[in-house]
Structure 1
Amino acid sequence: MKRLLIPLLAASLLVIAPPAQASSRQDVDIVVTPDGFDAPRTLRAGRVTLRARSTDPAGAWLGLVRPRPGVTLERYLGDLERALGDDPVEGGKAVAQDVEMLGGVAVAHVSASATLRVSPGDYYLVDFRDVGLPDLARRVRPVRVLPGNTGAAPEPSAHITMADGRFLAPSVLNGPVRVVNLSRQYNEAMLMPVRPGTSLTDLDTFFTEVDAGRYPAESPFTGGPTGVVPMSPGRSATLSTALPPGEYAVVTWVRDLRTSTMFAARGMRALITVKG
């Protein structure tokens, strides 16, 4: 079975509508199954949209990474397993040195898409939910990006910025959102539906327990995450999704590589109202 990065959540309430098309973009449709996924072996540089859906109950966290010179796939995956396993700090530091993370899209029981800017070079497309499986290397998809000039990303209706230890996020969201990492390390932004009346204090209490290795019986969340998977500092991605009206939390499950504490346990979270 896949090693879950977060505890199993109730069935998602999210309903995703296909994002608006842009003819100058490269749209890559990816279907993830329990056996893995397929992806193009070549792309053109510029804007690439990863449109994903998962038939795997565990969902998928698809991320595009570019290895640094001399870094092998074996080395990167070994460090990634340490980072998502029992050595999150030193493993995470090694991962940050191994690859540049361009981000990607997380899907649970519904589909979602993320638009990224890519330059020519060799990349890997990884489902981070596969970490811990014995055939992890076989599931990774190599992608070569050729010179090109594809066009603009979807026009965002709002921005979510990842600063050091906090999200700068709008109070209301309606439409595509551009996620930017201006912090000192890689991080992510996940939108998760919350129970009515959930407060920031409720989120803090939950993540403090999770950070200590205890998973509370009561979760503030009513569905799985849809969002942008870890990106290196300075990177951005545009998430296109149509969420039903309601209350959501913007959260991260990433740990601070200096302290080993989960960012969310230190107050990196926000509440957003999604309007139809």
Structure 2
Amino acid sequence: MTVLAATVITGPAHAGAVVGGTVDITVTPSGFTAPETVRAGALTLNVRSQDPQGAWIGLVRLRPGVGLEQYLEHLRQAMDDDPATSVAGGRAVAEDVVMLGGAAAGHVPAAVTTVVAPGRYHLVDFRDVQEPDFARRVRSLRVVGPAAGARTPSPAPAVIKATDSGFVAPRRLVSGSPVLVVNRSSQFNEAMLMPVRPGTTPADLDAFFAGTGGYPFTAGPTGVVPMSPSRAALLTTALPPGEYALVTWVRNLRTGRMLAQEGMRELVNIIPADGSTP
């Protein structure tokens, strides 16, 4: 499997052209700014949130014949609390766009690297779906080719796979080290790391998702937002060492239930960069 690696060329986080592979995005309660143009190739989204609710910045590409307003309306439906509406919206979203992932960031910044070909894309903060000015908060991104700069080989990262049978993931991840997230499932999916209370067990997660147990999480998610099937993205984030739940909040587009309710959840230990026990 090819390891994603980006040429890091810094640029302004405001309208204009960025000649390189890194975009810095700071999210506030009123939205975010982003460049209008980047080069094709490996693109890294460095996301930092100043919004107490966090940020879920995703990169999407509309399929031919699909308008932005159509996609945004389907996205609103996909994130509805009613399962029937959510499934119908989710199925429509899957037909509307190719989802290339992106970064969920809360109290800790996160960087996600994905590969983009030339074309027109959109950056969306999924947290803003219910905002009345949601459409105005979406940022258009034009990717031009050929790719700029040379790629630098990087060590093989840890790998998290989302499959139709659940997550396949290491029991331990090193804080600050890159993790390759691969969607091998049959629908769009995500990989979120959420800190849990000390001593949380798999049975505790089972009880929570069954509706019979308490809330085990101590903070919001950090990770990779939804990607289409067969897509991959490289996540880098310096989460504090400790116990985390690896979960997805996406619904199964066949059953209407959250995939996490159907067993797509794991406990993961994040250890310090020096490998010591937290």
Task: Verify same fold: TM over 0.5.
Answer: yes
Mapping 1:204-215, distance limit 5 Å: 204-209=206-211
TM-score w.r.t. the length of structure 2 is 0.86
- Structure 2 partner of 1:102: 100
User: Which stretch shows the higher mean deviation, 137-146 or 194-203?
Assistant: 194-203
User: 2:86 is matched with which residue: 85, 88, 98?
Assistant: 88
CA RMSD of aligned residues (A): 1.8
Aligned residues, how many?
251
Q: 1:113 to 1:225 in 2, by over 3 A?
A: same
Q: Does 2:33 align with 1:31? A: no
- Structure 1 partner of 2:253: 257
User: Contact 2:6–2:113 (CA<8 Å) still a contact in 1?
Assistant: no
Question: Counterparts of 2:169 and 2:88 in 1: how far apart (Å)?
Answer: 30
Q: 1:235 to 1:142 in 2, by over 3 A?
A: same
TM-score w.r.t. the length of structure 1 is 0.87
- Structure 2 partner of 1:15: none
- Structure 2 partner of 1:43: 38
User: 1:266 is matched with which residue: 259, 262, 271?
Assistant: 262
Mapping 1:99-248, distance limit 5 Å: 99-150=97-148, 151=151, 155-174=155-174, 175-209=177-211, 218-248=214-244
- Structure 2 partner of 1:10: none
User: Contact 2:178–2:234 (CA<8 Å) still a contact in 1?
Assistant: yes
Question: Counterparts of 2:254 and 2:94 in 1: how far apart (Å)?
Answer: 13
User: Contact 1:154–1:238 (CA<8 Å) still a contact in 2?
Assistant: no
User: Contact 1:165–1:263 (CA<8 Å) still a contact in 2?
Assistant: no
Q: CA deviation at 1:152?
A: 5.2
Q: Percent of aligned pairs with the same residue?
A: 58
Q: 1:252 to 1:238 in 2, by over 3 A?
A: same
Q: CA deviation at 1:149?
A: 1.9
Question: Counterparts of 2:6 and 2:38 in 1: how far apart (Å)?
Answer: 18
- Structure 2 partner of 1:60: 55
User: Contact 1:115–1:153 (CA<8 Å) still a contact in 2?
Assistant: no
SS of 2:43's partner is: strand
Question: Counterparts of 1:142 and 1:32 in 2: how far apart (Å)?
Answer: 16
Q: Which has the higher contact order (CA 8 A, sep 6+)?
A: 1
Question: Counterparts of 1:28 and 1:117 in 2: how far apart (Å)?
Answer: 13
Q: Does 2:37 align with 1:74? A: no
Q: CA deviation at 1:153?
A: 7.8
1:143-180 CA distances to partner (integer Å, 9 max, x unpaired)? 11111224358545300000004000001111110000
Question: Counterparts of 2:105 and 2:119 in 1: how far apart (Å)?
Answer: 26
Question: Counterparts of 2:164 and 2:62 in 1: how far apart (Å)?
Answer: 24
User: Contact 1:165–1:268 (CA<8 Å) still a contact in 2?
Assistant: yes
